[in-house]
Every structure is written in C-alpha cells, then in structure tokens.
Amino acid sequence: SRKRMAWSCVYCTLINEEHASLCDGCGSSKEGKQVRGLRAGLKNAVSGAVSALTTIWDDVVDVASSSFTPVPAPPQPAPYSVFDAPELPRAAVSPVSPSSPVTPQIPVITLTDTPPPRPPPPRRVNDLLPMTPTISRADSLSLHSSPMRDQTVRDEREARNQLKQIELLCREIKTSFIDDEFPPTEKSIGKLHDDEGLAVPGRIQPSEIVWLRPTEMFTKDGHRYPYTVFNDPSSSDIEQGSLGDCWLLSAMALIAERPDILEKILLTKVYSELGVYQIRLCVDGRWRVITVDDYFPCRKQSRTLAFAVGRKNQLWVPLVEKAYAKALGQYAKLRAGRTVEGLALLTGAPCETINLEEDDLEADLIWARLLSAKEAGYVMGASCGAGAKRKVPEEVSASLGLLTQHAYSILDVRQEGNNRLLRVRNPWGSHVWTGAWSDRWTGWPEDLKRRLLPPGVHSPGAFWMSYDDFRLHFDSIDFAKIRQHLAWAEMRVPCRIGGSWANDAVALMLVVEEPTEMCASLFRGGSRTADDHEDLLMCIHHVDPKGRVGELETRSDRKLCHMATTGDFFLRPGHYVITALSLSSFNRGKFRLDASLVVHSNKLLFGEAISCPPQMATDSLVQLALKEGKVQRSHDGIIPRFVTKRFGGLMVMLDNHLPSTYIHVTSECSNSTNVLSSRSATTVIDSVPPMSRQILLILSHFDASNGYMVTNQLFMSTSRSAALNGMLQQHGMTAAGAAAVARAGGAAASIEHHPPFEHEASRHLHAPRSAFM
C-alpha cells in the first residue's frame, strides 16, 4: 500500500495524518485556513464609581456549522470626507478674553442676498427687545478669526442704541419700564415648595411676595435708602435670600473681586430713573444681552428683598439674579446647582471641576493645581457635602459650622510654611467654619494671625481652614480659567445633538497653522428648564489623509451634565475635527437638543462648521474605543474592547481579524442598573463577519440623581456561517421565534443581528464594518 504522507500545520507546526483535513492541535485547515472553534465567556462586572472589569475565560471546542456561507468582502460604511462635508450657516469668530463677555452677532440665515424687510414700528416697549436667539438650519457656516475689538464696540453700540429707544418710548408715554416678557407676577416666581433638602435661609412662599421698585423697598433695619448699581463691590456684599441659588451667588462673590469682569456684565452701570437695565450673560454657551425692569420680589410684611441682596444698597446682585431668572422663565429654575455653572454663566470662560472624591487623585497634585490656578488669576468655588461618597457624616460638618448641599467661594490659597490654608466664604454671610484656623481658633501663630486676620477687617461669611479639613468636608472644586491678559480667542458654534443621529448634526473642522493651546466645551441648551437628562461627549480627532475622522487626540468626560469640557491641550499644525455627541436619547427618533460648541485658544484659528453624518459620528466612537478600550483578552484575532473610564456607562466593540470565519457573539448586560441601551435591549446577539469590527452596544447612565452599574458577559463561538440560528436557540429563541424576528426585521438583519437594528442610525452605529479601512 502507498505510504501515507503527513502534513505540517502552518500555524502550530503539528504533524497531522494525511487524511485529516483539520489540524488536531489548533483546528486550522490543511490549506492553511483557520476555522478554529472557540466559545468564550467573558464576565465583566463594572461599577459606575470604580468602573473595574473582571474577566473569566473558558475555552471549549465548537463544531463548525455544516452549512458554509461564502465569505463576503468586509462591509464598508458609506463614504464621506471632512473636507467635502456640507458647511453650515456663516458666523464670525473673534479673539476675546473669556472674562470679557461680548454679545455675539447671531447669524441671520437667508437663502438669498436680499436684505430682510424692516419690522413695523413697535407698539409697546417690549417690541424693542431682541428675539431670543434660536438655531437655524442653513447650508454654510465658515468660521474665521477677526479683530474682536471692532465686534465688541459694535455690540456695545447696538445695546446702547436699543436702550436709548426704550428710554425714549418710556418718556413719550410717561411711564417707567415694565418688562411684560418677565412680568411682576407669581408666574415669574414659579414653584418654591421643592426647596426641601437645599440650604435656604428663611423660606418663603409665592403668596408672601410683593413686587416693588427700589424706591418702594426697605432695608433690613427698616429704613429706606437710595440705591446704586455699584458701591465699591466686594465678595462680602452678596447675601443669599430665600432661594436655593447659592451656586450662583458664590460665583457672583468671586466676580465681585474682579471689577474688570463685573463691569462688562452690567452694561447699565448707573441707577436708571426709568427702571431699565441691560445685563450680559453667557447662557448655555452663548452671549446674550438681557433687558429687565427694576421690579424685584420682596416680602410683603417687611418690604425687603426676598431673594439675592446686594449689601450697601447695590442693585447689581439682584439684577444679575433677575436677568438669569428671565432667561430661564422663572426664579424657581435657579434652585440647586454648582459654582461651575455660575462661573460659566458670568465669565464665558472654560470651566473645570476637580472631584475630590476620586480615589486616584493625589492630595499634593490637587494642592499644586490650586496654587497654580490662584497664581494664574482663575476664580474658584467649592461644593460642600453634595457628593455621593461623603467622607464625614453630615452632622459632623454641621457641628463645625458648615452647610451641606451648599456652594462656597474660594477667595485665597496660601502656602504658609508647612501650613496649607484656604480662604473660603459662605454666600449667606454667616454659618462659618469653627474648627482649626477659624477666626476664634486659639492655635493661631501670632505673626500669621496678624497677616491673615488683620485687626479691624471683617468679611462676613469668610473663614480660613486647612487643606486637610477642606478635603474632608468638600467634595469638588470648580474654577474658571480667566485669561483676559493673554488675549485668547474663542469660537462659539450652535449645533444640535441627541436623538437618532440625523444629517442636521454638526461637527467643527479646525485648521491649526501653528502650535496652539486650547480648550473645548460643549453646552446643552435649556438644561435648567428640561425635565430629562442627556449625556454629553466631545471628541477631538486628527483628520486622516482620506478626509475621514482619524486618531483621537483628546476628549471630554461623557456624563449627564449641562456642560462638558476637554481641559487644556495642545494641537500641532494640521486639520482636526470636533464631534459633539449624545447617546442617552439615541432611540428617541427626531428628538434633538440645541447645544453650543465653544473653543478657546491662545492662537487665532480657522474652521468650518460642517455636517456630521452618522458615519462620521460612528467613526468618532470607533476611534475612541481603539485608543481607550480595555482589551480583556485577545484570542487568535478576536479582540473585544470595553470602554468604561470617564464614559458614564459602557461601550463594547469586537474586532474579528480572522480571514474566513464568522464570530457569533452574545453580549449579556441584563444585570446592569439605571442605564439605557443603544440597542433597546441589554442582551444582544450578533454575527461579526471576517476582517470586520462592530460596536455591539452602548450603555448610558439614565438618571443623574442615582448611581449606575454596568455588568457584561460575552459568549463567543466561531462559525463558517453568518446565520445565528444556533446561538439564538441557545439563548431561548426557538426556530419559530427566529422566523418571526426575520419577518419583522428582514431576513439578513434577523439572522445576523438580534434584536434587529431599529432605524438607520442604529444600523450606522452597530452594523459591522471593515476592521482595516
């Protein structure tokens, strides 16, 4: 008989019998095609706070399907190019000190060059006020830097002209200004009964309020004095009223120490006999000039201010509070917040938060950042007892004079020998720290006390405390990066985010001509007036030679918030694209959120606001997973990646680098809590073709008032067939059930992906794509 010829496996070099078509060692074919069987369980338990993954792998042999599906070419997403993307409406971008707010020219979108018709003459005073800016859809938006001084002068001139028209009309009709857009009624107050749990001095009900002008108001001592807009403002002049807006007043206390900023917020700087004032605020990332009258909510019995008070009879404090209340629709919308919101509102500067509860943050590093921020002239605030991981019981903080669920201002940071000290202020002007380094503490060194607590100088609500005590009782630090002396530039681009991705989404392409330091921020519009929670994520990418979204440069945290920021970073010359994403409402169809994308930089930039198709958004997430995804274990070309850190949930992406084998994978996340799935299910089953990758699912934190947890198990096997019939049956779906799914979602979708992709955006996000584009 003829001698049998053995063959050597090209993968593991095992010598096999001639009749064997598959390698006994690794499962590869005699011709060198891998069809190695694999079924693996990857158990992934992740907590929202720790985001730690634990993994268990069990390898077993899987019998290849008896049917064979011809291997298709790796799927390719629809082509696009950043350079060819449609542009959006034109708007000017100008260099500006973030601490020196200016009113932007809101783009007026028209399809022709014909100027819009003039409006009819106003019939009432409020007809002279500008319309609230809205985002409009158009075909082009080119952004370029231009001298900001001209724009600033133009904006201030327009505000003055508007003010003159209002004053002229008031004199003609012989009456003081009454703002009927924000009338002195109970509707403008809103519901105040939800203040329980907030630190609010002297609660009050709307029925106990009367609206009065300054000439009708009394001070707390029962006297009536003339009011002024400014009277040598300082942080100690601000006193919180019966409204839970300590976060705003803490920010105002910080700005009070910066007259260069404050005077640019109050455009009306002297007392108005006609009761008309203009305040400029950066609302949801966009500058607005807000015109208000001088009717203020007061207590019926005492006829004193019910809400924010400016000591020394200053009006700027209640005016700023009223202007933002008007922007939101009612005073009640001002309740509860963090100082970082107020700093962004008042300065327009890039703002950041340091979470003192993070375990991986070193105390020395945080202290160095505080000293650096103080040296740079940044303004800072802090939150006491509002975190999820309270280090000391609430009653302990209270026994030492601190209020929990409360915002404070940080006035000074000092390194005095070995002593690390902070000067902190309560916007109430009372309830101060009574522990070590407080005013009455007996352990003060005499020389240090003379310098830090000079005799005869009293600042209500302000106190010194040690850095160690500060870290025990406070959970976060907020700071605004005021860089007015550095002549930084800014871009502010309106955009839409959320819902099922559509072609009205916006990305920002940047052209960087020289090394540039910058910071990018994304603001959600109407965050204080909305009842729902939406996540924000912003990614900055290189643009690859094909014009596609390339490697991730940096990104913001993804979380439920009103504002996301990247922090400071450097870009070298080149082309970049910034994507703005929100996934919480991914399955809510046409639901969209107005937003603003803001870029601050130390050099002038050029850019284009371009259309961001679903393919571009998906590429952005893929690049994020490639750079930051944690690879649990790679099995012969099967690479699962998990993103949890700074992600507010979980993203699972699987790469199949095998040349001729499908990966059947089940991602099981049913034990996750307080999350939403981009697939509308927490258990998904997919067939990933050869040489392809797929984002299997994304879980998003749902309710911001509660923590979340994500858990994940992966079960994988290899097959020559794309059909999932066997795996569907293993997970409880009968053949009849699979047929029903096929009828509902289409044969290909139902057999290769369960649940089937619900809409076009889901298909763009979750359909397999080539792993080697």
pLDDT digits (tens, 9 = 90+) for 613-663: 889 999 999 999 999 999 987 678 899 999 999 999 999 999 999 999 999
Half-sphere exposure of 428 (CA within 13 A, CB side): 18
Minimum mean pLDDT range among 237-251, 527-541, 726-740: 726-740
Query: Does the pLDDT of residue 101 top 50, yes or no?
Result: no
Query: Does the pLDDT of residue 139 top 50, yes or no?
Result: no
**Catalytic annotation on 406?**
yes
Minimum mean pLDDT range among 4-18, 29-43, 420-434: 29-43
Helices (H), 332-362: 339-347
Mean pLDDT of 696-705: 91
Q: State the Cα–Cα distance between residues 246 and 339, nearest whole angstrom.
A: 8
Q: State the Cα–Cα distance between residues 504 and 592, nearest whole angstrom.
A: 10
**Catalytic annotation on 426?**
yes
Q: How confident is the model at residue 428, as a pLDDT?
A: 74
> What are the distances in angstroms from CA 498 to CA 103, 173, 214, 436, 586?
27, 47, 44, 48, 6
SS3 149: helix
Mean pLDDT of 593-602: 90
Q: State the Cα–Cα distance between residues 709 and 296, nearest whole angstrom.
A: 45
Q: How confident is the model at residue 39, as a pLDDT?
A: 30
Q: How confident is the model at residue 146, as a pLDDT?
A: 42
Which is higher by pLDDT, 255 or 589? 255
For CATH 3.90.70.10, the residue range(s) in the chain are: 351-480
Confidence of residue 23 (pLDDT cuts 50, 70, 90): low
Query: Does the pLDDT of residue 354 top 70, yes or no?
Result: yes
pLDDT tens track for 463-488: 999 999 999 999 899 999 988 666 78
Q: How confident is the model at residue 114, as a pLDDT?
A: 36
Q: State the Cα–Cα distance between residues 366 and 92, nearest whole angstrom.
A: 38
82-111+126-145+485-612: CATH topology: Jelly Rolls (2.60.120)
Minimum mean pLDDT range among 487-491, 602-606, 745-749: 745-749
Q: DSSP secondary structure string, 716-756?
A: EEEES----HHHHHHTT--HHHHHHHHHHH-HHHHHHEESP
Residue 66's CB is within 10 A of a number of other CB atoms, namely 7
Query: Does the pLDDT of residue 70 top 50, yes or no?
Result: yes
**Catalytic annotation on 246?**
yes
Minimum mean pLDDT range among 146-160, 168-182, 205-219: 146-160
For CATH 2.60.120.380, the residue range(s) in the chain are: 82-111+126-145+485-612
Mean pLDDT of 356-362: 72
Q: How confident is the model at residue 388, as a pLDDT?
A: 59
Mean pLDDT of 114-131: 50
Q: How confident is the model at residue 118, as a pLDDT?
A: 46
Query: Does the pLDDT of residue 512 top 90, yes or no?
Result: yes
Active-site residue among 246, 384, 561, 669?
Answer: 246
Q: How confident is the model at residue 455, as a pLDDT?
A: 83
Query: Does the pLDDT of residue 750 top 70, yes or no?
Result: no
Active-site residue among 9, 44, 384, 406?
Answer: 406
Active-site residue among 16, 44, 426, 656?
Answer: 426
Could you tell me the pTM of the whole model?
Answer: 0.78
pLDDT tens track for 211-250: 999 999 998 888 888 999 999 898 888 888 888 898 899 8
Mean pLDDT of 6-19: 65
Q: What is the CATH number of domain 351-480?
A: 3.90.70.10
Mean pLDDT of the chain: 79
| Distance from chain centroid for Cα 446 | 46
Mean pLDDT of 541-564: 93
Query: Does the pLDDT of residue 773 top 90, yes or no?
Result: no
Name the phi and psi angles at 238, rounded to 5. Answer: -95, 130
